[in-house]
Amino acid sequence: MTKEQIIEKHLKAAIARAYWIGAALGLTGCVAADFKPLTMEGAQCKQECFQNMQRCDGSSYPCDRSYTLCIDACVDIEAMALKGER
């Protein structure tokens, strides 16, 4: 094996490791932030998101993404409920 072939082999391995590390970090970024509801509307919304995630039959990425979007909607519902209470 020539020096160039050895360098190319190690470079490809490093790129592959970097890809998998990036993919892992990207997927962990999809996890919803810890949402602690302050209103009954927010609590009900969070419970529905959790129940829907438990019934999700897809692979983990679409289920996690769906849960994240659901929790994001709960944050909006919570904000609207809090504005209505003031």
**pLDDT one-digit tens code per residue, 24-52:** 555 555 455 688 999 999 999 999 999 99
DSSP of the chain, one letter per residue? Answer: --HHHHHHHHHHHHHHHHHHHHHHHHHHTTSPP-----SHHHHHHHHHHHHHHHT--S-HHHHHHHHHHHHHHHHHHHHHHHHHH-
**pLDDT one-digit tens code per residue, 58-86:** 778 888 888 999 999 999 999 999 988 64
Q: What is the pTM of this model?
A: 0.58
**pLDDT one-digit tens code per residue, 2-27:** 888 888 887 787 777 766 666 555 55
